[in-house]
Amino acid sequence: MNLIPRIGKKDCIILLIVCCLYTPSFSQLKEIMALSTKSNKEFISKTGDINYIAPYLLLEKDTLDHPFKKQLQNEYYATLHLFNKMTTSPIPKKKITDLNVVVKKAKQEILKQTISKKVVMFNEEHHNPYHRVYVETFLKDLKKQGFTVLALETLAWEDKELNSRKYPISKSGTYTKEPYFANLVRKALELGYKVLPYESKEIVDNMSISIREKNQADNLANIVTKELGNILVLAGYSHIAERPIASGHGGANEWMASILKTKYGIDPLTIDQTEMINEENLNTVTIPLLANTYYVPEEFKGVYDMCLVYPKEVEYLHRELGKKKVDIIILNNEYVNTNTLIQFYIKQEYEKYKDKAIPYEQFMIESTKMNLYLDSAKRYIILLRDKDYKVITKKEVSDFKSIKL
């Protein structure tokens, strides 16, 4: 039976991810794809309006027992910044406390290496928005080194106005609907980068991982040929692997970065953010070194050039971007733990695009006292929405010391 003709482009990519990370039976695969399709329909209306709450509630109620459901939930938790609800990654990770390594601050080490590279690639866990925030902290420094393009996985080819509009909306891509990913795009465009897609245009019946990887590599090579400046790439997981490695369903795959290297002679700097466990005793993102060489786990030697280790506390990245910490005081206890969502939209974006706009920040109300980080140079419209996504309160931000709702 053919599944792909009955599902959309996003779900076709989801299908490849499922087959890559897991080994589902055919009946499980049908259930997984049905759930993915249903949650996506709840997320985005036919007119392009976004409902951040509906797919979250759908998945909370669904009874499918499979690791992919947790993966899917994690991605919706990420859009709502429900970090305390996220479950453990299905991918086993390394712990540096088990190793005889020293650590150095990652940013300085990375910038030493990027200065001589045409293409630099970071990977990410799609359910970890702080991987996107960390990449954002590099944009100014890389611009000084001659980087002029930010190329993004699943960015939509159809959004021709993105670079002139200067911010993403619902049609701009898959992961751009998550606020921190949208902020990465906003900052890149503000600094004068071109933000370009490289996703496979060919989403077809019986499409394999290898076809997608080849198409992505071809598209990136085309960008390298056309653009005079250097290219910064953000991709998921194994896409940046520089040699073939196995996926969850068996034999080794040749991934995008490997094809770029072997077919086109372009050797990217590859920086992994997914393989190492966050550590309690760190206060910044670090790179482990063993015998004065960047440590990479044995099974990933020749796959990645660097593997990053994150601290447990990552909010400092907002401060590094110059954002201001703002206290939120909830005056009505009925909003707490009732699936009430608070959203901060950039004023001009929301006024033009309404529910097609992407919030700058958002979270579910879980306490009467919360805080977040905002760019105080921007003007925001705050929305409070109930579990049915109806707007309860709408107001403009004028006081960045504290906000009472």
- Which of 334, 326, 323 lies closest to 384 in space, CA to CA? 334
With respect to residue 277, please indicate whether it lies within any of the assigned structural domains: yes
Segment among 69-83, 258-272, 328-342 with least mean pLDDT: 69-83
Q: Which pLDDT does position 6 carry in this prediction?
A: 42
pLDDT at 206 over 60: no
pLDDT at 7 over 80: no
- Considering only CA atoms, give the Rg of the chain: 21
Chain segment 69-127, per-residue pLDDT in tens: 888 899 999 999 998 888 766 566 778 776 788 999 999 999 999 999 999 999 999 99
User: Are 186 and 158 found together in one domain?
Assistant: yes
User: Are 216 and 277 found together in one domain?
Assistant: yes
Q: Which pLDDT does position 247 carry in this prediction?
A: 66
Q: Which pLDDT does position 64 carry in this prediction?
A: 83
User: Are 15 and 55 found together in one domain?
Assistant: yes
User: Are 242 and 309 found together in one domain?
Assistant: yes
Q: Which pLDDT does position 207 carry in this prediction?
A: 60
Find the CATH number of the domain harbouring 352.
2.60.40
Report how far residue 130's alpha carbon sits from residue 134's, in angstroms, rounded to the nearest whole number.
6
With respect to residue 90, please indicate whether it lies within any of the assigned structural domains: no
Report how far residue 335's alpha carbon sits from residue 341's, in angstroms, rounded to the nearest whole number.
9
With respect to residue 91, please indicate whether it lies within any of the assigned structural domains: no
Find the CATH number of the domain harbouring 269.
3.40.50.11550
User: Are 182 and 294 found together in one domain?
Assistant: yes
With respect to residue 259, please indicate whether it lies within any of the assigned structural domains: yes
User: Are 251 and 102 found together in one domain?
Assistant: yes
Per-residue burial over 249-260, b = 16 or more CB atoms within 10 Å of its CB, e = otherwise: eeeebbbbbbbb
Q: Full-prediction pTM beyond 0.95? A: no
Q: Which pLDDT does position 84 carry in this prediction?
A: 86
Chain segment 302-321, per-residue pLDDT in tens: 999 999 999 999 999 999 99
Residue 9 sits in which domain range?
Answer: 4-85
User: Are 186 and 154 found together in one domain?
Assistant: yes
With cut-offs at 50, 70 and 90, classify the pLDDT of residue 279.
confident
Report how far residue 209's alpha carbon sits from residue 253's, in angstroms, rounded to the nearest whole number.
8
CA dihedral angle for residue 40, residue 79, residue 154, residue 301, rounded to 10 degrees: -120
User: Are 110 and 249 found together in one domain?
Assistant: yes
Report how far residue 76's alpha carbon sits from residue 234's, in angstroms, rounded to the nearest whole number.
19
Chain segment 33-57, per-residue pLDDT in tens: 888 889 999 999 999 999 999 999 9
